Amino acid sequence: MEKFKAYVVREENDQIVHRLETIIQDKLSEGDTLVKVAYSSINYKDMLALEPKGGVIRHYPMIPGIDLAGTVISSESDDYQAGDAVLLTGYGLGTVHTGGLSEVARVPHEWLVKLPKGLELRDAMIYGTAGFTAALSIDALEHQGMTVEDQPEILVTGATGGVGSVAIQILHHLGYQNITATIRKDYQEEKARKFGATNIWDIRDLESNGRPLNKRQYKYVVDTVGGELTADILTKVDEYGSVAISGNAGGAKLETTVLPFILRGVNLLGINSVEISHEDRVRIWNKLATDWNVIDQLHHQEVTLEEFNQVTEELKAGKHLGRTIVKVNSEK
């Protein structure tokens, strides 16, 4: 493709503007592999990329889209041939390196993962960065001792968002039965229960009593929210329980005490889906394609590049549910 469409964020006259444009390959970041993008997905970070003080884009212009799935056009690496189906998440894609909301992407081949057997390109982006992060969180908790046999009390925050909704459905699929979901709007309860939650915590009622420790309620937590909610949760985690935290929609500041950690042995596990080893990427994606495969259960919608901004507005307003994928090219 000599010319192709891409969604571009620019700084013009001290204002951040964004729109669908027709560009050429020279406008893409450097890399040794060209990919024809079939699908990307919409994540919280993509919404922040459009904000004047979103904190995720380092320089302009930038093409957002923190993940992609497509086929190789050409590569300077012997590891990839034209026509190979690939996916990519993380590595600064869409924030410091032109991203997936473009009909063509140019990336280092080391960033790519070959599409696992059992997944289509579309499936990879139904999971996307959110599903990958959810799987990383569950994997980390299972490494800390979470097992189906024990049927522990599990809490998932942000339960109707991208990471939270996929996490609940994977947990339910694996056989975990005691799953509490946090909600903040009435209509979210039905969705959370449909995803597999067995209990609901309406965090509109959240009022910290100031105690450094409270009644033990949860053994393991998938936390996508952060902020005040995380601080409250830490006071309610059982002995040697673990909290896998991956988001900060509720705030980046964490006000807590050391007591949950030194008196109950609570583990706070940071989940960074951007910079992990290629081996772990392949391992997690293979889980999502096999034993943890919940593609048929995931709530999702499909939009075009032209409709991308409409969905980010829903995200910004807190009205977005589940996963949204972007069909970037009409042909795979």
pLDDT given for residue 54 in this prediction: 74
Within a 10 A sphere around the Cβ of 286, how many other Cβ atoms?
16
Helix (H, G, I), strand (E, B) or coil at 270: strand
* For range 167-182, the mean pLDDT: 97
**Eight-state DSSP code of residue 55:** S
Contacts 24+ apart (CB under 8 A), 212-215: 212/256, 212/257, 212/259, 212/260, 213/259, 213/260, 213/263, 213/264
Structural domains in the chain? 3-115+299-327 (3.90.180.10), 129-270 (3.40.50.720)
User: Cβ(23)–Cβ(46) under 8 Å?
Assistant: no
Highest mean pLDDT among 33-37, 254-258, 271-275, 301-305: 33-37
Buried b (16+ CB within 10 A) or exposed e, 180-218: bbbbbeeebbebbbebbbbeebebeeeeeeeeeeeeebb
Quick: pLDDT tens for 300-319: 889 998 888 888 888 887 77
For 203, list phi and psi in degrees, rounded to 5: -80, 5
pTM higher than 0.85: yes
204 pLDDT tier (thresholds 50, 70, 90): confident
* Sign of the torsion formed by the C-alpha atoms of 92, 99, 41 and 74: negative
pLDDT given for residue 320 in this prediction: 75
Quick: pLDDT tens for 230-259: 999 999 999 999 999 998 888 889 999 999
Within a 10 A sphere around the Cβ of 133, how many other Cβ atoms?
28
Kindly tell me if the per-residue pLDDT of 330 is higher than 70.
Answer: no
pLDDT given for residue 1 in this prediction: 61
